[in-house]
A and B are shown apart, each in its own frame.
Chain A
């Protein structure tokens, strides 16, 4: 099939975007899962959409393509562009503009036959549409909320939905397009607005979330309706995609590592599990609703007091005790502030003027280790009930000493 810069299925390009942006070290020959032709087409598409951010490097294995974005400078998430590349037929685009030209204000109401006639007149009969094609399109638009269908006796009338005035919301939409879930929808709204100065930039901005927008929107729909879902999920430890039936409860978004997780009830296993959105390839919302949704949500809220990351259990008695102590100098009160503002659960205790203790009971100590490592240089004591995690932490520090040549004596060259 001839190359087209538009696509029918987003899932296909999603994997490539992630590969080019998050990793970006593979050469063409390493993309062995797909054909070379597929690779070339996807690369060309991404270049067409995101050319400003595309970079190339030559390695012995061949040319590597990668995406590099300093999201502090880029005021609009460039990946939103991919969501605006849906393919369509010649008939789709023609009908779209013709329908809204005839139904140009909400007062105008037309029957299907009237619409057909007027479309023929406007387009000088160069293209003709049958009633069933038009009816299908209008039904589709009614589901999208842009067309209203009314019955008057036996007559079915179509009109456009009323317009919503959003011109005063430019700054709000600019801001939330980047910081709110499913911000790509805000980007669609931005496209409707006049050009204006952009006032906001963003720091610590993980733009990869854009690629999972549809997954997230579908999950929100299921959560709002308390529906069961079946997801196709790539296992964390295997390379297999499995279908799992779940009750989705809440989405957990990280501001520090770019991951987004669904917390869901796995009824069959009677467990609360987390599923990464970027590992979910498909979601099917079932008709059945979960009657105990509210109770499950309450249980999750209670469990949150013991969650550092996204690992969670039903029984809050199954927690691990974590304690560590740090020393600070007299002028390092900001370190105590760091403990206070960065802790997500647990508490901070003052031991004396120069020593503080952090205490928590969490479901999974290993989730805390990266944070505790950020206090390296001042950790004086560890006490984890999970001894394996404690020993691992200590072994890792020894390994870091070795890596940087810090051993034995007290004097080290810096």
Chain B
């Protein structure tokens, strides 16, 4: 059962409060801070009053713990079964970390039990030794705040050498690729799979260069709710910052924000909805759609 109080914010917060209460210096304000940091916005009206009033008799009147040990709880079967399932995922090898003994545990699922059916076919080689080595070097560089020097093949097939500070990873489940977020160079990110060689960078040099902040652009779409288009569009664009408005007669407006670098992708995603989605603004985006339609017209598809 996933929906259980064992995993609840309240249990978790009360555990933190009791732990904090073992420190004799802890004040009521400190306990309140535990709630603000760990629980929901209105929990502050419930948790501490319940502990102070003795409704949950886990603290004494002086706010010292009524218990003898700092609270802990073993992993549940659900948690172990999920861990076992991910332990069998090939991407786990990237991290090179030994899992705890889960031999007696049945995985919650295996790779035969589910399929991501529309993932692109040229995903990263997660089990390739060189790829794993590059990932781990980047991970170590991020954790130790060290620069790296890489040789990579750019999208035009040319080798290039770059040095930068890796700051994090971005994973796309659709592309099944990992990108490294960079700073200290003019590029914002690099595909891990395109790296040919990499090592820590020990040379001197200035690190003044910063990637340009990626601009976000607004897009306004008109949806005609035929053939379930409204639901399909709203689900499809659900992961963007967005706002929808109901007009009349089955028409809806969707305003969303996208990153400029993703513009071509957004154009084709809009095109995929055919006549059920029309771009209203900005005109520059309307023109991108029109260009494609004009080219299509010249194909003289019969």
Task: Say which residue of A163, A179, A181 sits within 8 Å of B72 (CB atoms).
Answer: A163
Asked if residues A404 and B18 are in contact (CB atoms below 8 Å), the reply is no
Q: Which of B37-95 contact A (CB under 8 A)?
A: 40-43, 46, 50, 54-58, 66-69, 71-80, 82-83, 85-86, 89, 91-92, 95
Asked if residues A68 and B241 are in contact (CB atoms below 8 Å), the reply is yes
Contacts of A98 in B (CB 8 A): 58, 67
| Interface residues as binary, A189-204 with B (CB distance below 8 Å gives 1, 0 otherwise) | 1010000011111111
Q: Assess whether A252 is interfacial by the CB under 8 Å rule.
A: yes
CA distance A414 to B238 in the complex (A): 30
> Contacts A5-B43, A191-B12, A205-B239: A343 and B268 contacting too (C-beta < 8 A)?
no
> Contacts A199-B169, A342-B121: A70 and B67 contacting too (C-beta < 8 A)?
no
For this complex, 19 residue pairs linking A to B, each with C-beta atoms less than 8 Å apart, are A5-B46, A83-B3, A84-B8, A123-B66, A143-B77, A169-B97, A175-B171, A181-B108, A186-B82, A206-B239, A214-B2, A220-B108, A250-B113, A251-B113, A253-B114, A258-B236, A327-B299, A342-B120, A379-B299
Asked if residues A257 and B174 are in contact (CB atoms below 8 Å), the reply is no
Interface segment, B194-202, B204-212, B273-281?
Answer: B273-281
Q: Assess whether B218 is interfacial by the CB under 8 Å rule.
A: no
Contacts of B82 in A (CB 8 A): 180, 182, 185-186, 189
Task: Say which residue of A23, A176, A185, A342 sits within 8 Å of B89 (CB atoms).
Answer: A176
Task: Say which residue of B66, B174, B278 sits within 8 Å of A124 (CB atoms).
Answer: B66
CA distance A406 to B297 in the complex (A): 9
Q: Assess whether B129 is interfacial by the CB under 8 Å rule.
A: no
Asked if residues B243 and A66 are in contact (CB atoms below 8 Å), the reply is yes
Task: Say which residue of A124, A204, A327 sits within 8 Å of B173 (CB atoms).
Answer: A204
Contacts of A206 in B (CB 8 A): 238-239
CA distance A47 to B257 in the complex (A): 23
| Interface residues as binary, B170-210 with A (CB distance below 8 Å gives 1, 0 otherwise) | 11111100010100000000000000000000000000000
Q: Using A199-B142, A256-B174 as known contacts, list a sample of 11 further A-B pairs with CB atoms less than 8 Å apart, ordered by residue number in A.
A: A66-B244, A104-B69, A126-B57, A168-B97, A168-B98, A202-B170, A206-B238, A252-B117, A334-B155, A403-B275, A406-B297
> Contacts A21-B238, A341-B121: A213 and B272 contacting too (C-beta < 8 A)?
no
| Interface residues as binary, A201-221 with B (CB distance below 8 Å gives 1, 0 otherwise) | 111111110000110010010
Asked if residues B236 and A48 are in contact (CB atoms below 8 Å), the reply is no
> Contacts A98-B67, A401-B293: A200 and B72 contacting too (C-beta < 8 A)?
no
Asked if residues A144 and B77 are in contact (CB atoms below 8 Å), the reply is yes
Sorted nearest first, the 7 A-B pairs with minimum C-beta distance are A145-B77, A377-B292, A185-B82, A377-B295, A399-B275, A370-B272, A88-B5
Chain B residues bordering chain A, tally (CB within 8 A): 123
Q: Assess whether A49 is interfacial by the CB under 8 Å rule.
A: yes
| Interface residues as binary, A113-157 with B (CB distance below 8 Å gives 1, 0 otherwise) | 000000000111011000000000000000111100000000000
Closest to B115 in A: A252
Contacts of A257 in B (CB 8 A): 118, 232, 235-236
CA distance A302 to B186 in the complex (A): 48
Q: Assess whether B245 is interfacial by the CB under 8 Å rule.
A: yes
Chain A residues bordering chain B, tally (CB within 8 A): 138
> Contacts A145-B80, A377-B291, A400-B293: A166 and B238 contacting too (C-beta < 8 A)?
no
Q: Closest CB-CB distance, B125 to chain A, in whole Å?
A: 14
Q: Which of A307-330 contact B (CB under 8 A)?
A: 307, 309-310, 327
> Contacts A24-B244, A66-B244, A168-B98: A201 and B170 contacting too (C-beta < 8 A)?
yes
Q: Assess whether A412 is interfacial by the CB under 8 Å rule.
A: yes
CA distance A49 to B275 in the complex (A): 38
CA distance A370 to B274 in the complex (A): 7
Q: Assess whether A290 is interfacial by the CB under 8 Å rule.
A: no
CA distance A403 to B41 in the complex (A): 47
Q: Which of A355-414 contact B (CB under 8 A)?
A: 369-371, 373-374, 376-382, 394, 396-397, 399-401, 403-404, 406, 410, 412, 414
Q: Assess whether A350 is interfacial by the CB under 8 Å rule.
A: no
Q: Closest CB-CB distance, A365 to chain B, in whole Å?
A: 14
